[in-house]
Structure 1
Amino acid sequence: MNGRLLARRTGIVALCVLSLVVCVGLAWWQWQRFESASGTWQNFGYVLQWPLFGLFPAFMFWRLRTLRARHGESAPAAPRLTPEPAPPPQPPPRPRPRAVAEPAAEDDPELAAYNRYLAELNARHQERQS
């Protein structure tokens, strides 16, 4: 483990401990407010919430380490200083015209008329694109 990574992890652990200490202090303050004459059940709810807020950074640190270990990354990759060249633009593929089947004689006449109308529209569209 290099010194930079060790310093980073030490900083993250220190931040997690500081977060926990501050949030436990806020929970203690809310407990005192709950016990006072003007205290409400909302203050008691905050007593339960603040330690969870303090533990969240430690949980996230643990979770990220677990995910990195699962994917085989021991350290984050160094950022690239030069951008990768963009691939040349590709023209969009042209759709191939579909063959329109003529309706059979036993089909519905309205459906056959509608299919002929669609075939005519498709032919006009193909002529305009050519």
Structure 2
Amino acid sequence: MACVGLAWWQWQRFESATGSWQNLGYVLQWPLFGLFPGFMFWRLRKLRAQQRAEAAPRSAPAFESEPPPRPPQPTRQDEDDPELAAYNRYLAQLNAMDQETR
């Protein structure tokens, strides 16, 4: 309510002999200042509800319908390019080391 009163006061200043365009800017600005806390309250409630929904435990399925996808196997074409074959061997080593740490 105070912001509406301040906007009215700035409107009166704008219409007076000493008023300027800056006062008209304040007329438009004060209502926005008044609406902003309400908007932030609504937005924070919405974000908290979203966080609670994401944090709620979900029931896990009794079984998985599909196994995880397997990495692609090297093809004959990979063996034709020695640099690509060396890179694939390096990736296979990294995968083996990762599987050991799990």
After TM superposition, the score normalised by the length of structure 2 is 0.51
Residue 52 (structure 1) aligned to one of 16, 25, 32? 32
Deviation of residue 72 (structure 1)?
Answer: 1.1
What is the aligned partner in structure 2 of residue 67 from structure 1?
47
Separation in 1, partners of 2:46, 2:4: 26
Aligned-residue RMSD, C-alpha:
1.0
Runs of 5+ consecutive residues of structure 1 not aligned to the other structure: 1-20, 74-130
Separation in 1, partners of 2:28, 2:44: 25
Runs of 5+ consecutive residues of structure 2 not aligned to the other structure: 54-102
What is the aligned partner in structure 1 of residue 12 from structure 2?
32
What is the aligned partner in structure 1 of residue 94 from structure 2?
none
Count of aligned pairs between the two proteins: 53
Report the AA paired with residue 28 of structure 2: L
Superposed structure 1 runs of 4+ greater than 3 Å apart: none
Alignment deviations for residues 87-128 of structure 1 (CA, whole Å, 9 cap, x no partner)? xxxxxxxxxxxxxxxxxxxxxxxxxxxxxxxxxxxxxxxxxx
